[in-house]
Amino acid sequence: MTHSSSIEPNVELQDAGSEKPQIDLRIANEKTDWLDRVTDQASEWLSPILVKEVRQTLKSYQFAWTFFLLLVAVVLWTLIGWTANQPVDDYNEIGPPLLLGFYWILGFPLGIVIPFAAYRSLAREFDDGTIQLISISTMRSWQIVIGKLVSSALQMLIYLAILAPCISFTYLLRGISISQITSGLVICIVGCCLLSSLGLFLAAVARSRFFSVGISILLVIGLAILYCTWCGFSINIAIYPSFSGDYLVWQLLMFGWVGFAVSTSLLLLSVTSSLISFESDNRSTLPKCMMLVQQTVFLAWCLCMISLDIDVDILIGLVFILSHFWMIMGFAMVGESPKLSERVQRSLPKSIGMRSLFSLFVPGPGRGLIYSVTNLWASGAILMMMVIFGEMFLPEADRGMQGVTSGQANLMSLNEIYRCCDGTWVAFFYVTLFISLMYLFMQFVSKKTRWNWGPIASVLLGLTIVALATTVSLVLHYNLVPSSRHRDFSLFQYGNWYWATWEASEPGGFSGAGLGLATAFLACVAMLLIATAIIMASKELLTKPGALPARVAVDDQQIEQSKKPPVGETIDDIFNEPRPDDTT
């Protein structure tokens, strides 16, 4: 007797002579959406460390007390602010004071509590010794860092959920625009992510208990100063309408702040990931890529700023920012160990041309020297091209802010362009000189002592040398030059690269006090040092890739085979297998 169940799938026979029927399996053949696939992969990537961090955070006394005090502060300020600022005729004056108080309340957990909690979260891993257990697991160092950052972001969302209804309520009281509310929230959110990334970076730097205590104190003091700065700045956002988003200057400043905070956070997270990774890992490729990202964001912001009526002094300020960035990055990279692990050496390209280009992203002091100096001069050339051909990029600028009228952009004169170029080249010669000296010094120390100082010590030592040179130049100038009271420039000040750069950008700067001759001497010394350093570093670019050992090849093959599911045991194989007819 043959029978069939009502829940069996529909079976359609192909032909009379076919042996396998076509089975319409609706559940098995259902296609998943791209969002489902992305979320599944993200959850599998983040869940191991994220679940642990969220549980520890939500169960901590720090979160419970901060959450409770935040609720109390919101209730008290709502009652006090509404009563104290109650107008007689209308409600125009209630919105800004209430919004200002909510900004102050929100800034405390986002600016102090969450960044310090992120710092203690990673520092506790080093204190308890659990960082070694996490590092040898299947999780990568990036997953550990991102998991802790996402935990901080979750706390931030909880605190924002408390204040979101109150901040929205201030808009109904009039006197507040949407742009003022969004500007303050964007600054708080992006700033919290930046400070949390800084906290994770400091925790990875200070691994011992002795340094951890000192950095904890300095971090708390720094966060308190930043919070007081935010309280003062939020007054301008909440009270003055000139900080509304309708003004072009404010939009460019917000774009610059968001770009700086996001790119710096990525750079700090990449460096933190490299610091907590194991010794044989490639610790330089990811931070160097993030350096390029931050440089690109900065140049994009400079392109927007050139559309405004900015003068030579502002452009020299932008040059100083670019110079300091690559000076610090260069000091850090020349302090790396010159030895490559076998794992990193096997990843080098085979051809000489590709190896000379892409090996700049591999660890090594010589590679870091060439990488930093090349990017310094390339970014400076791009910035000067923006200044010279500014009309090509933005022929007209929409002047929608106070003090500037609409119309054609006021481009720089030829004399001002020359001044910008002179100041830029002087600053870059100084930075090239400092990085080359630091590289040669670190190479000398490593050969004599056989001990690598590390990037952090290299940065501190390099900045100390620059500060000493500047201080000695100032002391000699003010004590040996009689006309120093009139702020005249002398050759004693040539050790002060800040003053020398500003003097070179002044009208007729190279014509007085022998500045032109001294600048030519500086350029010759800088080029001689960088040429010597590049010759010494060239042997790193010619490092041959290592051969893959037979044991490693067998292990890689076994790992690839283990990732493949057994034949006939996947979901598709099970559901697509035809079922025989049930007969009795």
- What average pLDDT does this structure show over 80-86? 70
Whether residue 147 is predicted with pLDDT greater than 50 in this model: the reply is yes
How confident is residue 482, by pLDDT bands cut at 50, 70 and 90? low
The predicted-structure confidence for 245-257, as pLDDT tens digits, reads as follows 556 777 788 888 9
If asked whether residues 86 and 62 sit together in one domain, one would say yes
d(CA 327, CA 429): 11
Listed residues 278, 309, 336: the one ending a domain: 278
Let me know if residue 308 belongs to a domain: yes
The answer to whether position 285 is within a domain reads no
Round to the nearest angstrom and report the end-to-end CA distance of the chain: 5
For 147, the domain range is 43-278
Residues 6+ apart with CB under 8 A from 41: none
Whether 289 maps to a domain, the answer reads no
* Res 11 pLDDT > 60: no
pLDDT exceeds 90 at position 331: yes
What mean pLDDT comes out for the span 25-45?
Answer: 60
Tell me whether residue 103 is in a domain. Answer: yes
Could you count the other beta carbons within 10 Å of the beta carbon of residue 65? Answer: 11
Question: 108 pLDDT exceeds 90?
Answer: yes
Q: Over range 443-449, report the average pLDDT.
A: 80
Percent of the chain with pLDDT over 90: 25
In a domain, 265, yes or no: yes
Window from 48-62, 306-320, 365-379, 541-555 with minimum mean pLDDT: 541-555
pLDDT at 553: 64
pLDDT at 330 over 80: yes
Is 173 in the same domain as 191?
yes
**pLDDT grade, residue 5 (50/70/90)?**
very low
Given this model, what pLDDT does residue 584 score?
47
Nearest residue to 127 via CA among 52, 206, 199, 61: 206
pLDDT-above-70 percentage for the chain? 71
Beta partners for residue 408, in sequence order = 396
On whether residue 150 sits in a domain, the answer given is yes
Residue type, 453: W
Residue 328 has pLDDT above 60, yes or no: yes
Q: Lowest mean pLDDT: which of 102-111, 336-345, 453-462?
A: 336-345
List, for residues 262-302, the tens digit of each pLDDT value: 999 999 999 998 888 877 677 788 899 999 999 999 999 88
In a shared domain, residues 8 and 103? no
Predicted confidence at residue 27, as pLDDT, reads: 46
| Burial of 330 per CB tally in 10 Å (0-12, 13-18, 19+) | buried
Q: Are 539 and 558 part of one and the same domain?
A: no
Residue 520 sits in the same domain as residue 453? yes
252 and 368 together in one domain: no
pLDDT band (50, 70, 90) for residue 364: confident
Same domain, 10 and 85: no
pLDDT at 25: 47
Q: Looking at the structure, do residues 243 and 367 belong to the same domain, yes or no? A: no
Task: Lowest mean pLDDT of 51-60, 351-360, 468-477, name the range.
Answer: 351-360
Taking only Cα atoms into account, the Rg of the chain, rounded to an integer number of angstroms, comes to 31
pLDDT in the model for residue 298: 93
In a domain, 339, yes or no: yes
> Same domain, yes or no, for 177 and 267?
yes
Judged by average pLDDT, the poorest of 112-126, 277-291, 365-379 is 277-291
- Looking at residue 4, its pLDDT comes to 44
Q: Confidence class of residue 9 from pLDDT cuts 50, 70 and 90?
A: very low
Residue 255 CB: number of other CB atoms within 10 A? 15
Nearest to 160 by CA among 197, 117, 115, 106: 106
At residue 561 the predicted structure's pLDDT band, cuts being 50, 70 and 90, is: low
The DSSP string of 463-494 is HHHHHHHHHHHHHHHHHH-GGGGGT---GGGG
In a domain? residue 293? no
Q: Are 92 and 232 part of one and the same domain?
A: yes
Mean pLDDT, rounded, for 382-411: 54
In this predicted structure, which of 202-211, 229-238, 445-454 has the lowest mean pLDDT? 445-454
Both structure tokens of 67: 């959450």
Quote the mean pLDDT of the chain: 77
What confidence category does residue 556 fall into, taking pLDDT thresholds of 50, 70 and 90? low
Closest Cα to residue 299, out of 419, 374, 385, 358?
A: 385
Closest to 339 in 3D by CA, of 451, 460, 439: 451
Type of residue numbered 197:
S
Residue 237 pLDDT exceeds 50: yes
Distance between CA atoms of 472 and 475, rounded to whole angstroms?
5
Average pLDDT over residues 362-388: 89
Q: Which of 498, 496, 492 is nearest to 514 (CA)?
A: 492
- pLDDT one-digit tens code per residue, 499-513: 888 888 877 665 555
What is the CA angle 444-371-269, rounded to 5? 100
Residue 91 has a pLDDT of: 46
Q: Which residues of 287-320 are buried (b: 16+ CB within 10 A; e: fewer)?
A: bbebbeebbebbeebbebbbbbebebeebbebbb
Q: Which of 92-106, 206-220, 397-411, 524-538 has the lowest mean pLDDT?
A: 397-411
454 and 515 in a single domain? The answer is: yes
What is the spatial distance between Cα 569 and Cα 256, in angstroms, rounded to a whole number?
53
Q: Which H/E stretch holds residue 106?
A: helix 95-108
Does one domain contain both 441 and 320?
A: yes
pLDDT computed for residue 373 by the predictor = 93
Asked if pLDDT for residue 394 goes beyond 50, the answer is no
Mean pLDDT of 407-413: 51
pLDDT surpassing 90 at residue 434: yes
Per-residue confidence (pLDDT) for residue 569, from 0 to 100: 54
What separation in angstroms does the CA of 502 have from each of 314, 482, 488? 11, 21, 12
Range with top average pLDDT, 11-20, 374-383, 440-449? 374-383
What is the tally of structural domains in the chain?
A: 3
